[in-house]
Amino acid sequence: MRLFSPITNKKHSRLWLDNIRHRIEMLCALRLFSTLLKVSPMTSLPRAWTSPVRSSANGESVSLSSDCRDSKSSPEAGGLPAFPPSVIVEVKALACELPSRLGLPLSRFSVSDIRTEVLAQGIVAQISGSTLWRWLSSDAIRPWRHRSWIFPRDPEFVKKAAPVLDLYEGLWRGRPLSANEFVLSADEKTSIQARIRKHRTLPPSECRPAYVEHEYQRGGALNYLAAWDVHRARIIGRCEPKTGIASFDRLVEQVMSQQPYRSADRVFWVVDNCSSHRGQKASDRLRANWPNTVLIHLPVHASWLNQIEIYFSILQRKVLTPNTFTSLAELEEHILAFQARYNQIASPFRWTFTRKNLADLMNKLGSSTRLKAA
């Protein structure tokens, strides 16, 4: 599901820009009102604002009652340029737009890019980069930054995600889990390479970091399968040459053959939709071998709801970056040794994303979709 569709005509482009401008105007109005309330009756306002009318290309207000030029300073402003609020709103709206929708060959805006476009559009005649930076920082607008994201595309996203979030809170179908019920989050970290560097790594020294040789030989790759006990904070894992049904079943056997899982009333396994544990067939297969297992599938493309990914990120930072091993055997040894070390200090992850947060997220995405349709 795409959040926004390309705007193909000027009417839709105006609607899009007006929507951004409306939100920024409302926010600026609230802040200005708050500032006015804090001003003492015996104190002059910090800036001589003019009526919110559109400025001309040289930054001058078209109001007949007062002039507000971008090159002039207001005495009350302490020497700062007295730009009208409408100019600030228009600049922020421009910063919140995708450059490609303005016909620019850019993937994202920088402050200098915004300044160039502001001048090109004639919003003002002159403005400094520091002024733009100050305006954008006041609302934490950072168009030069981006974040990778996968938008929910599973039609049953809420139906599948909600039970997982309940399990993380210690609930199942509205009832608290008993002391003999456990929640495991499981997945595979695939294709972990053993990179044999062509020169040994030099340790850090005074005034310099460690040196890791850039060139390496490939020493093969292995796969790490692991299950994280959500509430008891314990990691159980194994290394396999290949992924697949057989490898995953060996992980399940490794976990379920030991206490307290072997004699548990129920053990919930939270997994994604990988081919080794996908669908009802996987659930039936596990239950046939271990009757107290309950396989819970996440929505499609929702690995961010799987707590084991947090542990995998820790493993990546602590063990696999930088990747320098002499063999696959050494790589496996380090992974399992870190697993044992982590179990000595592990504590449950502080998971704060609940059903309410899920509902808020889906409402937000739904509002964005309605905006696209408008």
175: helix, coil or strand? Answer: strand
Is 2 or 144 the better-scoring residue by pLDDT?
144
Residues 107-135 pLDDT 10s: 999 999 999 999 999 999 999 999 999 99
Task: Calculate what percentage of the chain has a pLDDT beyond 90.
Answer: 64
Mean pLDDT (the chain, rounded): 83
pLDDT band at 374 (very low <50, low <70, confident <90, very high): very low
- The CATH number given to 157-357 is 3.30.420.10
User: What pLDDT is recorded for position 156?
Assistant: 87
User: What pLDDT is recorded for position 75?
Assistant: 44
User: What pLDDT is recorded for position 149?
Assistant: 79
CA distance 17 to 96: 9
CA distance 12 to 3: 15
- Is 310's pLDDT higher than 90? yes
Residues 2-51 pLDDT 10s: 444 444 454 555 555 556 666 666 666 555 555 444 444 444 444 434 44
**Mean pLDDT throughout 297-317?**
94
- Count of CB atoms situated within 10 Å of the CB of 175: 9
Spans of all domains in the chain:
10-138, 157-357
**Mean pLDDT throughout 347-359?**
93
Residues 214-250 pLDDT 10s: 999 999 999 999 999 999 999 999 999 999 999 999 9
Write the CB contacts of 16 (distance below 8 Å, at least 6 apart in sequence): 7, 97, 101
User: What pLDDT is recorded for position 27?
Assistant: 65
CA distance 322 to 145: 25
Continuous segment of H or E residues that includes residue 32: helix 10-38
Residues 76-87 pLDDT 10s: 445 555 789 999
CA distance 308 to 224: 12
Burial degree of 9 (CB within 10 A; 0-12, 13-18, 19+) = exposed
CA distances for 100 relative to 94, 106, 176, 309, 371, angstroms: 12, 6, 50, 34, 19
Nearest to residue 271, comparing CAs of 258, 260, 255?
Answer: 255
List, in sequence order, the alpha helices (H) in 207-347.
Answer: 245-256, 279-289, 308-318, 328-345
- 165 is written with which tokens? 């979030």
